[in-house]
Chains A and B, each alone.
Chain A
Amino acid sequence: DAGVTQSPTHLIKTRGQHVTLRCSPISGHKSVSWYQQVLGQGPQFIFQYYEKEERGRGNFPDRFSARQFPNYSSELNVNALLLGDSALYLCASSFERLNTEAFFGQGTRLTVV
């Protein structure tokens, strides 16, 4: 069975640009969460989506947005990129909204230059 898949694996963008990151959860999983991990720190929660609705949001500016599609895949969008947005972006899926175990993808390494 395929795990959580994220695309692209690596990405280089210029300051001020826009980026879209994609996540496909494990088949049957309805909940998708997004995390940002800056080098040397633990992952920071950005969003959680369940049944295509936003269920939680971390302390991130409005430049960050996301959505979940009917097939439960998800996109994370970041506008007006800053150098500080350079990080590993992780997607995690779980079966139910209250499920305790989250399965993480390999992440997308975003570099903003």
Chain B
Amino acid sequence: LAKTTQPISMDSYEGQEVNITCSHNNIATNDYITWYQQFPSQGPRFIIQGYKTKVTNEVASLFIPADRKSSTLSLPRVSLSDTAVYYCLVGGPHLYNFNKFYFGSGTKLNVKP
């Protein structure tokens, strides 16, 4: 199983762009990269998922280099409500994984006014 490494915490200010990088050196060919957001005492919430290159949705962008050994979650113009823990996961929808995900310790993002 591919292990992920993320910074333990990051600080930012409202209105800034935040980039959180995740390292996954032994990612498998069939693995996807998925990011979840979690607020205290709530379940994680899906943010974005990708396999390679760049993926963008209404809340974030995900950049994946050609070797797929790392990925960067980009949050544009963060607000105080983006203060949360962000998890990078590797794995997902292939035959023998049956969609079970392995979470690391996550990155605690603290957005300041």
Q: How many A-B residue pairs have CB under 8 A?
A: 69
Check A90 for interface membership: any CB of B closer than 8 A.
yes
User: Main secondary structure on chain A at its contact with chain B?
Assistant: strand
Query: B-side interface residues toward A, CB under 8 Å?
Result: 32, 34, 41-46, 49, 85, 87, 92-95, 97-106
> Which of B43, B99, B105 is in CB contact (< 8 Å) with A90?
B43
Interface residue range, chain A: 20 to 34
The listed residue (B43, B92, B106) touching A100 by CB distance below 8 A is B92
Closest-by-CB residue of A relative to B85 is A42
With A101-B46, A101-B49, A104-B43 as known contacts, state yes or no: A94 contacts B99, CB within 8 Å.
Answer: yes
Which of A's residues lie within 8 Å of B, judged by CB? 4, 31, 33, 35, 41-45, 48, 50, 55-56, 58, 88, 90-92, 94, 97-107, 109
Q: Which residue of B lies closest to A92 (CB)?
A: B43
